[in-house]
A and B are shown apart, each in its own frame.
Chain A
Amino acid sequence: MSHSTRCAACKSLRRRCTKDCVLAPYFPPTNPQRFACVHKIFGASNITKMLEQLPLHLRAVAADCMSFEASSRVEDPVYGSVGIISQLQEQIIEAQSELVKTKSEIAFHNAQQQL
Chain B
Amino acid sequence: MGGSSPCASCKLLRRRCAKDCIFAPYFPSDDPHKFAIVHKVFGASNVSKMLQELPVHQRADAVSSLVYEANARVRDPVYGCVGAISFLQNQVSQLEMQLAVAQAEILCIQMQQEPNLPTHQIDQVDKSFLLSTNNFDNNNIPQYLSFASSSNVIQDPLKRESLWT
Contact = CB atoms under 8 A, between A and B. Distances in A.
A6 B131 CA distance: 49
A12 interface: no
Which DSSP category, helix, strand, loop or mixed, fits chain A's interface? helix
Contacts of A46: 40-43
Interface stretch (B1-9, B20-28, B119-127, B140-148): B140-148
Contacts of B140: 84, 87
A5 B96 CA distance: 47
Contacts of B89: 88
Contacts of B153: 61
B58 interface: yes
B54 interface: yes
A65 B78 contact: yes
Given A42-B41, A62-B78, A95-B96, A78 B54 contact: yes
Interface of A: 40-43, 45-46, 50, 53-54, 58, 61-62, 64-66, 68-69, 73, 77-85, 87-89, 91-92, 94-96, 98-99, 102-103, 105-106, 109
9 contacts: A40-B46, A43-B43, A62-B79, A65-B81, A80-B65, A80-B66, A96-B95, A99-B98, A99-B102
